[in-house]
A = this chain, B = another copy of it.
């Protein structure tokens, strides 16, 4: 005894997503057929197709866009500074701060030999071309302080050693509002490394 085939099929498709197990997939599929209007389901179905058809990666920076070159790369006011991030979501996070006005470069991954990810598997070679072609003076590496983050950072540093580009990393330490007693040791070590004179 199972649900009808078309419902079982929908359940299977929801299960393609990470964090959605059989029970949740069943709940979502039942919600689809019993609570959503036919219009909503039709428009959801269309939205899936549209997203997969229209969304691509910016030819220059690798971020998610529906154009060949994204709006930020096309912005003539942004120049000389380039921030390296892991993925497109990071751009949105930094843009919300309104505190950085350069361009971005999205690696769409990080070097991680343990997971079989080398420099050729991520969008890193285009970075070195851009640094030259776009006359970049300052490079800010905004990657997490993890093993892949450190490895990717070291790689970029080596590749640009004699390029004359100033290379920075974002600051690591205690997040604003966090309690010292709950912070992990590595974060505290980073916070001590990042001490500033008042």
Chain A positions within 8 Å of B, measured between CB atoms, are 1-7, 9-10, 12-13, 16-19, 24, 26-34, 36, 38, 40-55, 64-67, 88-89, 91-92, 95-96
* A92 to B42 CA separation, bound complex (whole angstroms): 28
**Measured between C-beta atoms, what is the minimum distance from A101 to chain B in Å?**
12
C-alpha gap A75/B16 in the complex (Å): 34
Q: Is the CB of A10 within 8 A of B96?
A: no
* Least Cβ–Cβ distance between A149 and chain B, in angstroms: 20
Say yes or no: A28 contacts B32, CB within 8 Å.
Answer: no
A16 to B48, CA, bound (A): 14
With A41-B49, A48-B48 known, 8 other A-B pairs at CB within 8 A are A4-B54, A6-B54, A7-B51, A7-B64, A33-B51, A33-B64, A41-B51, A44-B48
Protomer copies: 2
What distance in Å separates the Cβ of A83 from its nearest Cβ neighbour in chain B? 13
Q: Are B2 and A92 in contact (CB under 8 A)?
A: yes
Q: Give chain B residues whose Cβ lies under 8 Å from the Cβ of A36.
A: 16, 52
Query: Which chain B residues lie closer than 8 Å to A24 at the CB level?
Result: 19
Q: For the complex, give the distance between the alpha carbons of A47 and B24 in Å.
A: 17
Contact across chains for A48 and B52 when beta carbons are under 8 A apart: no
CB-based contact A50/B9 at 8 Å: yes
Q: A18-B31, A51-B6, A91-B1 are in contact. Are A13 and B44 (CB under 8 A)?
A: yes
Q: Is the CB of B64 within 8 A of A4?
A: yes
- Report whether B47 and A52 are in contact in the complex, using a CB–CB cutoff of 8 Å: no
